[in-house]
């Protein structure tokens, strides 16, 4: 806790991303696939234990996706890869939102690579810190 008191503005424990959407199509080469990445920065000297909740418009939330981010590291979690989400699948072409909870303060950003058209688009946004 001494680290938290000495660096009070470096991250938060709860974040929200209200606009999630995995584009259903890709028009680029096989290595260039439409996807989203949840960028997690852990500036603390201890491992961050992160839990994701995925909210949908028409179904119950997907809860309990557990991630670990090493101390003083970043991890860009590909949300289209179930192996990075403990086997959980976020469906393509379906709007969703994320709640990101951590036991230590972290910084959260979402990036979307959309290659549904030949001229790709990259969007990125900071999460909303709720703490």
Structural domain including 51 reads 2-129
Domain count, the chain: 1
Residues 6+ apart with CB under 8 A from 64: 51, 53
pTM as predicted: 0.84
Burial of 52 (0-12, 13-18, 19+ CB in 10 A): buried
Q: What is the CATH number of the domain that holds 122?
A: 2.60.290.11
Q: For each of the chain's 131 residues, which pLDDT tens digit applies?
A: 555 555 556 899 999 999 887 877 666 666 667 667 899 999 999 999 999 999 999 999 999 999 999 999 999 998 888 999 999 999 988 999 999 999 999 999 987 665 666 666 667 777 889 96
């Amino acid at each position: 806790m001494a680290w938290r008191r000495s660096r009070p503005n470096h991250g938060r424990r709860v974040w929200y991303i209200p606009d999630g959407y995995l584009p259903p199509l890709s028009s680029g080469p096989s290595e260039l696939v439409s996807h989203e990445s949840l960028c997690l920065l852990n500036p603390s000297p201890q491992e961050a234990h992160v839990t994701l909740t995925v909210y949908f418009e028409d179904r119950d939330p997907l809860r309990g996706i557990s991630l670990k981010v090493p101390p003083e590291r970043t991890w860009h979690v590909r949300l289209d890869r179930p192996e990075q989400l403990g086997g959980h699948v976020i469906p393509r072409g379906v709007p969703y939102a994320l709640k990101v909870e951590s036991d230590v303060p972290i910084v959260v950003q979402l990036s979307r690579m959309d290659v549904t058209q030949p001229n790709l688009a990259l969007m990125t946004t900071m999460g909303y810190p709720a703490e």
